[in-house]
Amino acid sequence: MDLLVTLDLQSSKSEARRMIQNGGIKINGEKIVDIHAVITITNDLIIQVGKRIYRQLKCN
């Protein structure tokens, strides 16, 4: 939830929580269903919110 809010993909943690619980978040093509999931930030991480919003993270 914190990652989604930090990247401005969701406006609040409660909105991010609802989106995760409804199955609207995928990371590298894998659906996230646990609101307490720990995500390891790697190079070229792709986050999908809903059907049309994609973000790719580039790590230096």
- Distance (Å, rounded) from C-alpha 17 to C-alpha 36? 10
SS percent in the chain: helix, strand, coil, step 5: 25, 25, 50
pLDDT of 33 over the 90 cut: yes
Q: Quick check: 60 pLDDT over 80?
A: no
Residue-averaged pLDDT of the chain:
92
Domain range for 12 is 2-57
Count of structural domains, the chain: 1
Q: Is the pLDDT of residue 18 over 90?
A: yes
Give the pLDDT score at 59. 81
Rounded Cα distance, 6 and 16, in Å: 11
CATH number of the CATH domain containing 13: 3.10.290.10
